[in-house]
Structure 1
Amino acid sequence: MGSSSACLDRMARGRAVWRPHQGGTRMMPEALADLILTLGEPGFGPALMRFLGRECGADLCSVFVIEGDSARVLVAESADPEASAFARIASLRYAQRYWRRDTSAVTALGRAHRAMQVLKRPAQGIRDIDYRHECYTEGAVLERLSLYRAGAPGIIANAYRARDTGPFPPAALRAFAARAPVLHAALLRHARLVPVAAPADPLAGLSPREAQVARLTAAGEDQPRIAQALGLAPHSVITYRRRAYAKLGVADRHQLRRLLETGAG
């Protein structure tokens, strides 16, 4: 593990070139370069999604930092923009409600020897009905590949396949396992570069008007009442709402409400 971290440092400074182990599958240089160049930056999540998409055909990904009994979301991404809201909502739910109920994670992170583990788990194998429904069924997620590494902090990294895509083939599991050491080194470095912050306002990226319209929409107000309350023309309400939905990656009022409820948790 130390050698992977040291190599990552040298690559980040432009002083080393990644060479795969003899007999191993060659790593995608563009995808790895994206990860190195975006360490500590907002673009790291999308770069990780591209990396996992190319390496093992993942449709979504998530990363969690485990410190004591708490988990925080480090990455929540989807290759499909229409599924980005689900990726964020499901990841927040997992961190806030379900990670301690995930027997695979608790077992792997509780091992004293802190060995890295890579596991494949189908959604149908999750016995906790609420956890399975809110983090898998709602997003039509079929199965996941997970990397677990105990430590200070612990790391959980997941790659997911959607039902329409089908299960991960054996080659995808082998590729994920082969990349695990350098992937863990990158995730750990990124986690240490990104400061722990208070939960962000889910609407922070919207304009003031878009945020006002979004909050009233989530509260159940209809278009005429929002227009009257804010002194806007009805067509302006539609425009602000459409822009807010696009920026937040939600499709309707119900997804917006879930995003606000989960983000405030």
Structure 2
Amino acid sequence: MIDDKPSSEPEQEALANVILALGKPSFYRALLRFAKVVCDFEHLSVFGFTPTLMPRIEVLEGLEDASITSLSAQSYMGFGYHHADPALARMRQLSLDSGAPAVLTLWARDISDAAYRRDIYERFGLDGRISILGRAGENWRSVNFYKHSQKGGLTHADVAAISKRAFSLFAAEVRHLELVGETSGLADGKPPVAFFQALLVEIAPALSHREAEVCAHALQGKTGEGTALELEIADATVATLKRRAYAKLNITNLNELFAICLAAAARRSRRL
């Protein structure tokens, strides 16, 4: 279960707040505060995309001046700058690849369209953005973090830090959407069963191979019946294995299982 004692490590405390905010209106604020702790980001936007990759504004957050995020996003859509956004080409490329989510970095200085560069970035003193691109349900989403030039601008260390945490952060995004009922089933961009199974072995070596396997399938969104069919075991056996695993992990439900895996993934990323 999640330890509710204050952490001595700011990142761990910020991550705990992200987990606790899953399914709540405060989720994206908590996600931005986590990015603030890790890389000093101050603005966040989330865009959803139709099957034809037409963007729509989903979330806008700002820690100091939220109007910057809002005005920037409105200009992005209103002036059609999304047509020049390299994220679209990246998503088309990723559509042929099961390795999403992916990280895209856009430095303002590299934008050849002067109006796009001025209206979205220079106007607000933003140095650029780092985006996590992935699927939620059938559609693509882009979770974008922005940094001010006066804060030192984007660095390669920022890119490395977000890249190491991309799987964990996007998994949290997908889980949040599931909890608020905005997507059914897990995305292709969700970490594979093997990823979850390896984390579970790391978290709880006492789990049997089958117990970890059943829990990993549950984290991928499979029903007990679906897991039973894939593993060629009885439904009742799946339920028993899951119950035993939960007892060993001292948890009672899938949300708690997801939370400890997310925390473990974050710890792993800091060791890379």
Q: Cα gap change, 1:89/1:145 in structure 2, threshold over 3 Å: closer, same or farther?
A: same
Q: Cα gap change, 1:190/1:129 in structure 2, threshold over 3 Å: closer, same or farther?
A: farther
Q: 1:121 aligns with which of 89, 98, 106?
A: 106
Q: Structure 1: which 5+ runs fail to align?
A: 1-13, 17-25, 197-265
* Cα RMSD for the two superposed structures: 2.6
Taking the TM superposition and a 5 Å limit, the aligned residue runs for 1:1-265 are 14=1, 28-68=11-51, 69-80=53-64, 83-95=65-77, 97-102=80-85, 104-111=86-93, 112-115=96-99, 116-150=101-135, 152-194=138-180
TM-score by length of 2: 0.56
Q: Cα gap change, 1:178/1:153 in structure 2, threshold over 3 Å: closer, same or farther?
A: same
Q: Structure 2: which 5+ runs fail to align?
A: 4-8, 183-272
The alpha carbon displacement at 1:95 in A equals: 4.5
- Whether contact under 8 Å (2:43, 2:63) holds in the other structure is yes
2: CA distance, partners of 1:123 / 1:30: 31
TM-score by length of 1: 0.57
1: CA distance, partners of 2:125 / 2:142: 21
Higher relative contact order (CA 8 A, sep 6+): 1
Q: Cα gap change, 1:182/1:143 in structure 2, threshold over 3 Å: closer, same or farther?
A: same
1: CA distance, partners of 2:27 / 2:179: 11
- Whether contact under 8 Å (2:10, 2:37) holds in the other structure is no
1: CA distance, partners of 2:178 / 2:76: 21
DSSP-derived class of the 1:110 partner: helix
2: CA distance, partners of 1:93 / 1:39: 30
The total of aligned residue pairs comes to 172
The alpha carbon displacement at 1:50 in A equals: 0.4
* Identity fraction in percent: 29
**More moved, 105-114 vs 46-55:** 105-114
Letter in 2 for 1:121: L
The alpha carbon displacement at 1:46 in A equals: 1.4
